[in-house]
Homo-oligomer: A and B are copies of this chain.
Amino acid sequence: MHATLREIRKTPEGVKIAQRAFEDFIAHHDFRLPREVVYTGCGSSHFLSQPLAMATTRLGGRGVSLPCSELLYSREFYPIGNPELLVAISRSGETTEAVNALKSAGVPKFALTAYESTLSREADYSLIVPAHEESVVMTHSFTAFYFAYLQLLLESFGRETFDAEKTAGLTKEMIRNESYIREIVENFDFRNVIFLGSGILYPIALEAMLKMKEMAIFWSEAYPTFEVRHGFKSIADEGTLVVLLADKPFDWHDKLTEEFRGQGARVLTVGRRNTGADYFIETPEVDELLTPVLHLPVIQLLAYYKAVSLGLNPDRPRFLSKVVKW
């Protein structure tokens, strides 16, 4: 079995590892996250920095996220303001740009990583989530990092944290769709794929797009749900799979589904209710901040099976390495 598939299936375990890392952190640190935070990372870690920033904003703070390289070379163009903390994310803790971005901060530094590493040593505070992965691409560690940091955020803002056991169980439910996902890929030889999500599900759509490129070297796109109608939809035809990551039911999702089907595309809806799509994966009702945890294993499995169907080895993505250094 591919290491990548094993890692995806470890998502429930990752949630539990995340909970232990969170509990360990608050037991040993008299530190609460402040309200104005800048988040940074590269690639998947940048897409992870976005829902963390969004959760911060949603809870009443101000979270801004930027790719490390933009923070390093073009920060004067971005509305960073006067943050009270910089959070840098890197699975290995050794990504050159993440380490440099952290070093460049004139504010307290926080590392979110899987290892004791250069990043954690350079930081004033480190949340180390040991969701270790053999795979080159980031899979269950993304979910684990998100969950651990979310718990710390809720705790810091005086909110109730989520039940980790229950959350792990929900991810297990989502993974039960594995054979259905494989079937979709085997039955529909799509030529490109468009992921759609709004709010906190938009960066999950971006991460889905990246997983497809990394594992399946594949034409994949991601847009804020309704933004796709403005020009981008030109590429959707009978060779296209549109994946709608939906949170709460919303009538216009049905209209959007109909519009894409009218262009010949097929639609997979992942959400609470079928929108009239060709394929449907149901998600349980959870707090909106928890929705990424439900969608992540689904989009990872989709990329994995697309890669396999194309005869590629998802464990050895072309031109990529586990840690990006200059």
Contacts and interface: CB of A to CB of B under 8 A. Distances in A.
A134 interface: no
A84 to B, nearest CB: 14
B232 A199 contact: no
Interface residues of A, number: 59
Contacts of A226: 67, 69, 73, 97
Given A73-B225, A229-B324, A234-B320, 19 more contacts: A44-B230, A58-B76, A62-B81, A67-B224, A67-B226, A68-B227, A69-B225, A69-B226, A74-B198, A77-B199, A79-B79, A192-B219, A213-B231, A218-B235, A230-B324, A231-B317, A233-B319, A234-B318, A255-B326
A200 B231 contact: no
Residue among A63, A78, A230, A234 with most chain B CB within 10 A: A230
A79 B97 contact: no
Interface in A63-115: 63-64, 67-70, 73-74, 76-79, 81, 97
B319 A42 contact: no
A236 interface: yes
B43 A57 contact: no
A298 B252 CA distance: 37
A67 B225 CA distance: 10
A202 interface: yes
Interface string A24-43: 00000000000000000011
A53 interface: yes
Given A76-B57, A76-B58, A199 B70 contact: yes
Interface in A243-288: 250, 252, 255, 263
A46 interface: yes
26 contacts: A42-B229, A42-B230, A43-B232, A53-B79, A54-B77, A57-B76, A67-B224, A69-B224, A69-B225, A70-B199, A70-B202, A73-B226, A73-B250, A74-B202, A76-B199, A97-B226, A137-B231, A210-B232, A218-B235, A229-B324, A231-B320, A233-B320, A234-B320, A237-B318, A255-B326, A263-B319
A239 B283 CA distance: 39
A217 interface: yes
Contact of A235 (B67, B137, B213, B263): B213
A214 interface: yes
Given A57-B79, A77-B200, A217 B235 contact: yes
Contacts of A53: 79
Nearest to A137: B231
A254 to B, nearest CB: 12
**By CB atoms of chain B within 10 A, which of A69, A202, A213 has the most?**
A69
Nearest to A75: B199
